Structure 1
Amino acid sequence: MYFGEDPLFGLLRRIGKPVAGHRPWPRYATTAGGWRTMIEALGGNGWSLLGLWAEPGTVHAAIREDMAGDLAVVSLDCPDGTFPSLSAARPGAIRLERAIQDLFGLTAERLTDARPWLDHDRWGVRRPLSDKPAAPMPNPPPYTFLPVEGEGLHQVPVGPVHAGIIEPGHFRFTCNGETVVRLEEQLGWVHKGIEGLMRGKPVEDAAKLAARVSGDSTVAYSLAFAQAVESALGVAVPPRAVWLRALMAELERTANHLGDIGAVCNDAAFAFMLAELSRLRELVARTADACFGHRLMMDRVVPGGVAVDISEDGPARLLELVAELRRRFPPLVAIYENKASLQDRTVGTGVVSGSLVNRFGAGGHVGRASGRGLDARRTPSYAPYEDLEFEVPVRTEGDVNARVWIRICEVEQSLGLVEQIVKRMPGAPRNEKGERPLPRVPVEGPGGEGMALVESFRGEILVWVRVNPDGTIDRCHPRDPSWFQWPLLEAAIEGNIVADFPLCNKSFNCSYSGHDL
Structure 2
Amino acid sequence: MRIEAFGFPNQVRLSAFADKSSAFLARIDSDTWTRTAETVREAGGRLISLWGAEQAAGTFMISAAYALEDGILWLQLPVGDGDGNAHEAGYPDLSTVFSCATRMQRAIYDLLGLRAIGAEDTRPWLNHGNWPADYYPLQKLSSGTERFESQEADYPFVPVAGDGVHEIAVGPIHAGVIEPGHFRFSVVGEKVLRLEERLGYAHRGIERLFERTPLLLGHRLAGRVAGDTAVAFSWAYCMAVEQALDVRIAPRAQWLRALLLERERVANHLGDLGALGNDAGFAYGLAQFSRLKEDWLRLNDRAFGHRYLMDRIVPGGVATDIDPRFITAMSTQCDQIDAQVRVMQNIYDDQSGLQDRFAGTGLLCAKVVEHFGVCGLVGRASGRKIDVRVDHPYAPYHEVQVQMVSDDRGDVAARVAVRFNEIYESIRLIRILLSDLPGGDIMKQIEHGRPPSYGVGWIEGWRGDVFVGLETGVDGTISRCHCHDPSWQNWPALEHAVIGNIVPDFPLINKSFNLNYAGHDL
TM bin, normalised by shorter chain, reads over 0.9
Q: Which residue in 2 is equivalent to 1:127?
A: 136
Query: What do the CA deviations read for 1:341-385 (whole angstroms, capped 9, x no partner)?
Result: 111001100011112212222211111011111111112110001
Query: What do the CA deviations read for 1:173-199 (whole angstroms, capped 9, x no partner)?
Result: 110100011100000101011110000
Distance in 1 of aligned mates of 2:53 and 2:418: 37
Return 5+ residue gaps in structure 1 as ranges.
1-5, 429-436
Matched, 1:18 2:18: no
Q: 1:503 aligns with which of 492, 508, 519?
A: 508
Q: 1:96 aligns with which of 97, 104, 111?
A: 104
Contact 2:109 2:115 in 1 (8 A): yes
Contact 2:172 2:183 in 1 (8 A): yes
Offset, 1:123: 3.9
- Counterpart of 1:468, as a letter, is G
1:167 match: secondary structure:
coil
Q: Which residue in 2 is equivalent to 1:434?
A: none
Q: Which residue in 2 is equivalent to 1:432?
A: none
Q: 1:58 aligns with which of 58, 61, 66?
A: 61
Q: Which residue in 1 is equivalent to 2:469?
A: 464
Matched, 1:173 2:168: no
1:516 match: secondary structure:
coil
Q: Which residue in 1 is equivalent to 2:30?
A: 32
- Cα gap change, 1:226/1:158 in structure 2, threshold over 3 Å: closer, same or farther? same
Distance in 2 of aligned mates of 1:317 and 1:123: 51
Return 5+ residue gaps in structure 2 as ranges.
17-21, 55-59, 81-85
Moved more, 211-220 or 358-367: 358-367
Contact 1:371 1:395 in 2 (8 A): yes
1:505 match: secondary structure:
helix
Identity score, percent: 42
Contact 1:273 1:332 in 2 (8 A): yes
Q: Which residue in 1 is equivalent to 2:57?
A: none
- Counterpart of 1:362, as a letter, is V
Contact 1:235 1:444 in 2 (8 A): no
Q: 1:279 aligns with which of 278, 281, 291?
A: 291
Query: What do the CA deviations read for 1:443-479 (whole angstroms, capped 9, x no partner)?
Result: 5351410001101100000001111231111100000
Query: What do the CA deviations read for 1:20-46 (whole angstroms, capped 9, x no partner)?
Result: 767641111111110121132244251
Distance in 1 of aligned mates of 2:99 and 2:253: 38
Distance in 1 of aligned mates of 2:225 and 2:447: 22
Query: What do the CA deviations read for 1:210-244 (whole angstroms, capped 9, x no partner)?
Result: 00000000011110000011001101111111111
Q: Which residue in 1 is equivalent to 2:490?
A: 485
Contact 1:350 1:399 in 2 (8 A): yes
Distance in 2 of aligned mates of 1:9 and 1:491: 36
1:25 match: secondary structure:
strand
Q: 1:144 aligns with which of 153, 156, 172?
A: 156
Distance in 1 of aligned mates of 2:476 and 2:43: 40
TM-score (norm 2): 0.92
Distance in 2 of aligned mates of 1:34 and 1:461: 26
Offset, 1:130: 1.9
Distance in 2 of aligned mates of 1:176 and 1:53: 38
Contact 2:361 2:411 in 1 (8 A): yes
Distance in 2 of aligned mates of 1:399 and 1:275: 24
Give the number of equivalent residue pairs: 500
Q: Which residue in 2 is equivalent to 1:441?
A: 445
Q: Which residue in 2 is equivalent to 1:76?
A: 77
Contact 1:291 1:313 in 2 (8 A): no
- Counterpart of 1:357, as a letter, is V
Root-mean-square deviation (Å): 1.8
Q: 1:320 aligns with which of 321, 332, 338?
A: 332
Offset, 1:440: 3.6
1:200 match: secondary structure:
coil
- Cα gap change, 1:453/1:510 in structure 2, threshold over 3 Å: closer, same or farther? same
- Cα gap change, 1:22/1:413 in structure 2, threshold over 3 Å: closer, same or farther? closer
Distance in 1 of aligned mates of 2:394 and 2:32: 30
5 Å-filtered alignment, 1:188-199, equals: 188-199=200-211
- Cα gap change, 1:22/1:54 in structure 2, threshold over 3 Å: closer, same or farther? farther
Contact 1:19 1:28 in 2 (8 A): yes
5 Å-filtered alignment, 1:192-211, equals: 192-211=204-223
- Cα gap change, 1:59/1:252 in structure 2, threshold over 3 Å: closer, same or farther? same
Distance in 1 of aligned mates of 2:365 and 2:345: 25
- Cα gap change, 1:20/1:348 in structure 2, threshold over 3 Å: closer, same or farther? closer
Offset, 1:327: 1.9
Distance in 1 of aligned mates of 2:282 and 2:321: 40
Moved more, 52-61 or 202-211: 202-211
Distance in 2 of aligned mates of 1:247 and 1:225: 17
Distance in 1 of aligned mates of 2:153 and 2:287: 45
Q: Which residue in 2 is equivalent to 1:395?
A: 407
Matched, 1:405 2:417: yes
Distance in 2 of aligned mates of 1:70 and 1:247: 24
Distance in 2 of aligned mates of 1:495 and 1:379: 34
Q: 1:308 aligns with which of 320, 326, 337?
A: 320
Moved more, 391-400 or 414-423: 391-400
Matched, 1:112 2:120: yes
Distance in 2 of aligned mates of 1:69 and 1:501: 39
Q: Which residue in 2 is equivalent to 1:8?
A: 3
- Cα gap change, 1:273/1:454 in structure 2, threshold over 3 Å: closer, same or farther? same
2:63 match: secondary structure:
strand
Contact 1:290 1:311 in 2 (8 A): no
Offset, 1:441: 2.6
Contact 1:303 1:443 in 2 (8 A): no
Moved more, 217-226 or 35-44: 35-44
Matched, 1:182 2:187: no
Contact 1:234 1:445 in 2 (8 A): no
1:374 match: secondary structure:
coil
TM-score (norm 1): 0.93
- Cα gap change, 1:427/1:8 in structure 2, threshold over 3 Å: closer, same or farther? closer
- Counterpart of 2:343, as a letter, is P
Distance in 1 of aligned mates of 2:36 and 2:160: 34
Distance in 1 of aligned mates of 2:442 and 2:397: 22
Offset, 1:69: 4.1
Q: Which residue in 2 is equivalent to 1:3?
A: none
